[in-house]
Amino acid sequence: MKPKTRIAGIIIQDGKILMKDKIIIYTDGAARKNPGPAGWGVVLINGKSVFEFGGASKHATNNQMELMAPIEALKYLHKNRLNMPIEIFSDSKYVILGITEWIFNWQKKNWRNAAKKPVLNKELWEELYKLTQRFKIKWIYVEGHNDNKYNDRADEIATNFADGIKIKLRKEK
């Protein structure tokens, strides 16, 4: 029997999840000058464990970073074979409505929006949609800058990455 491994607060032994629960993810994106220097942030919570990560782009829009955050969170879960119920919180109605409602019509209409124009960020939407097919996800809108400590933290991570400021991130224990 192999030793137990802990990834983002989830206990794994012999490739099987021992601690079954749900994973809660808060995501946010930020761009300066929109487009401009940009960043995204993720706060991943499982039980009492909190794991944070983020990234930056030299030139991107806010919406692109809002999409990158859940994409990177789901890539992380997939890479680490963490497949359990997920709740993703975002303060971006663009992300929430896009992935839960609009995307189905975009796909039917050959990636055209209601105004019959090409959908912006199509490649990111396709990547996010593909990743969502591997998980059971509940998407939840949370109002931004409204004293939600995890949403505020995801925002802080994203804005620090956008500003090129080093930020201390909580890693696995």
Candidates 9, 28, 41, 72; catalytic one: 28
Active site residue 145: yes
Alpha-carbon gap, residue 142 to 150, rounded angstroms: 10
Candidates 9, 39, 52, 91; catalytic one: 91
Candidates 9, 41, 54, 66; catalytic one: 66
Residue with tokens 């992935």: 99
Candidates 29, 41, 54, 98; catalytic one: 29
Active site residue 29: yes
Q: Tell me the two tokens of residue 170.
A: 């909580």
Phi first, then psi, for residue 27 (nearest 5°) are: -130, 150
Active site residue 91: yes
- Active-site positions read 28-29, 66, 91, 145, 155
